[in-house]
Amino acid sequence: MAALTRNKKKGSNSQTPPLNKQTKASPLKKAAKTQKPPLKKQRKCISEKKPLKKPEVSTDEEEEEEENEQSDEGSESGSDLFSDGDEEGNNDSDDDDDDDDEDAEPLAEDFLDGSDNEEVTMGSDLDSDSGGSKLERKSRAIDRKRKKEVQDADDEFKMNIKEKPDEFQLPTQKELEEEARRPPDLPSLQMRIREIVRILSNFKDLKPKGDKHERNDYVGQLKADLSSYYGYNEFLIGTLIEMFPVVELMELIEAFEKKRPTSIRTNTLKTRRRDLADILLNRGVNLDPLSKWSKVGLIVYDSQVPIGATPEYLAGFYMLQSASSFLPVMALAPREKERVVDMAAAPGGKTTYVAALMKNTGIIYANEMKVPRLKSLSANLHRMGVTNTIVCNYDGRELTKVLGQSSVDRVLLDAPCSGTGVISKDESVKTSKSADDIKKFAHLQKQLILGAIDLVDANSKTGGYIVYSTCSVMIPENEAVIDYALKNRDVKLVPCGLDFGRPGFSSFREHRFHPSLEKTRRFYPHVHNMDGFFVAKLKKMSNAMQPSGNDEPAVTMEQAQVSSSDDDDEKAEAIEELEKPPVASGQPKRESNTKEDTNKRKNPRSKEIHKGKRNKNTKTESGNVEEPRKQKKKRSQWKNEIAQAREEKRKTMRENAKETPKHRG
């Protein structure tokens, strides 16, 4: 077969000249060349049909096409050179021509076959490249779309912020009714609160033009929005709005929503703060010193162990105590070997701090009225190693009867209060406290502070101080109570000894307090990062029950009303005796004499009483007899006369009862 093919090829070669041979060989080359351009056109068509979303993708594809074209042209030129070499060899010898022809035909066929394979592979590569580029383009398009949406939203939000302040209007009555029917829309409420606060901060300049609403309308709407958003009752939010500017009010309310940091107090009776900090750091407690104003406080950020169950806590090395509870004891500043009373001691944080400052010397009377709280008080005293404290269970108003008047050096009164300064600990205060509750607490606090003042000895060499504190921000529980004490006892306000804190109110709305109330200190969570607190320090000037130069007639009239249960004679005598000043002078004597004359006209039958009065007046002129003893004698005479009159009536009734049966018999 090979010989036959060779003969056929030789015959054909012998019939045609070499020039024709070149012409025959050239169509094969042309055919190969003509078959490749469609591939390039197809590629170009494919590239043209694809959507060119990004210039980067199109340039990459064009570069790939140019590289493929250059490689194809190189292969074609190589094949041309190869075929030309074969033709030259055929011109030299016939045998070589036959071999070259045999080789040329298979090569041409292989070349054509190879071009088809290349087309398939190139097509598959293009398909894969086109598929990958499509996914990339889609993902990029999605990314661009998202970025555009985010940008549009930001632009719209900024535009709304710029436009809304100028266009803000209070909601109408219909809109408020519709809001009441629907669940509360918190984002819209928050935006409205911010706008109202912004306008109220400078109402004259920021009020919308053409708005006929007054400032009270904005304040009323702010009250309603704050009540619904934060959950306060109308009374409490109204009081806070009256006390603080609107901008500071928002800071205070936001601070109430956050918990205060945990703080502990080092027990200096057993350890030092540095040693305690090292031990707790080794246990995985992250802490720092509390502040410059405290030498024993530590603030705890986080802990890997329960901070209230460590061996150091159980050993009494520290006490879990809020930072605001340090302040009353620091203001009291007790000294060693003094007699100190803590009128409301449970759970014992302040009492143990006082004992540590006194170094377990002197005597501390830790009083607590509620029996269930005595357990925690005594347990903390034992755990902290306190040995100079006596725990007692009395009403603070009755302690003067137990310990005696003017019997101690210092008194700490952390009075029971409404707790409006510790809302972050007890959120029920937002809705549970009312105006009546504040009045009840204020009345109790006034009684307690008078009892605390009566306990202190004004002649104490080192003491004579009373510290009053509450965890409330209400003015009736703080400044009003101190002002009441200043009017009814001979005391004065002194500096608390605290370098920080805001001064108390000397006036509030229609109320005007003593100017020295600026020496009191207020502490707020949004300013000092501690619970709301009030601290005042009083110095007792004398042991007199009534202050010098204050409203004496008001007090005497109240005491006179107490004795109004007796008969008319006793009432007249009580008023006369109680209205006499402690120091005898000319003018009060005339008043007493005129009152005696009026009493004589009203009650002519009490001659003996008036005789006693004359004798009493002469005695007071000589100055030999003291006034309290005179009062006791007069009161005993009244009682004796009343008792005698009753006995006489009983005798007459008995005699009448005895006589009636005799007449019947």
Q: Where in the sequence numbering do the catalytic residues fall?
A: 471
Contact 634, 573 (CB under 8 A): yes
344 is annotated as contributing to ligand binding: yes
- Dist CA 272 CA 270 (whole Å): 7
Helix (H, G, I), strand (E, B) or coil at 561: helix
- In whole angstroms, give the CA distance from residue 366 to residue 346: 8
At residue 539's C-alpha, the angle toward residues 537 and 542, to 5°, is: 155
Helix (H) / strand (E) element for 364: namely strand 363-367
What lies within 8 Å, CB to CB, of 104 at 6+ separation is: 25, 83, 86
Check whether 349 is labelled as a binding-site residue: yes
Tokens of 528: 């000092």
Non-local (6+) Cβ contacts of 582 within 8 A are: 544, 627
Q: Is 348 annotated as a binding residue?
A: yes
Residue 149 CB: number of other CB atoms within 10 A? 10
Q: Which two tokens stand for residue 430?
A: 């937002």
How far from chain centre, in Å, is Cα 67?
A: 70
- Bridge partners (DSSP) of residue 470 are 534
| Distance, CA of 540 to CA of 306 (rounded, Å) | 44
Question: What is the DSSP code (8-state) at residue 101?
Answer: H
Nearest to 107 by CA among 79, 73, 71: 79
What's the rounded Cα separation, in Å, for the pair 306 and 285? 9
**Would the annotation count 210 as a binding residue?**
no
What are the backbone dihedrals phi and psi of residue 536, each rounded to the nearest 5 degrees, phi first?
-140, 140
In this structure, what token pair is assigned to residue 464? 């004579």
Greatest Cα-to-Cα distance within the chain, rounded to the nearest angstrom? 195
Handedness of CA 214, 220, 221, 226 (dihedral sign): positive
Closest CA to 466 of 480, 482, 479: 482
DSSP tag of 220: H
Chain CA centroid to CA 91, Å: 106
Q: 410, exposed or middle or buried, with CB in 10 Å at 0-12, 13-18, 19+?
A: buried
Q: Would you call 533 helix, strand, or coil by DSSP?
A: strand
The three-class DSSP label of residue 296 is coil
Structure tokens at 432: 């549970």
- Residue 229 main-chain phi, psi, to 5 deg: -80, -45
Q: d(Cα 95, Cα 99) in Å, to the nearest integer?
A: 6
Closest CA to 488 of 534, 536, 453, 516: 453
Q: Is 315 annotated among the ligand-binding residues?
A: no
For 340, counting Cβ atoms within 10 Å of its Cβ (0-12 exposed, 13-18 middle, 19+ buried), the class is: buried
Round the CA-based radius of gyration of the chain to a whole number and report it: 52
Rounded Cα gap, residues 420 and 424, in angstroms: 9
347 is in an annotated binding site: yes
Is 452 flagged in the annotation as binding? no
Rounded distance, CA 586 to CA 583, Å?
A: 10
Asked if 419 and 472 touch (Cβ cutoff 8 Å), the reply is yes
Q: How many residues does the chain have?
A: 665
Annotated binding-site ranges for S-adenosyl-L-methionine: 344-350, 368, 395, 414
- The binding site comprises 344-350, 368, 395, 414
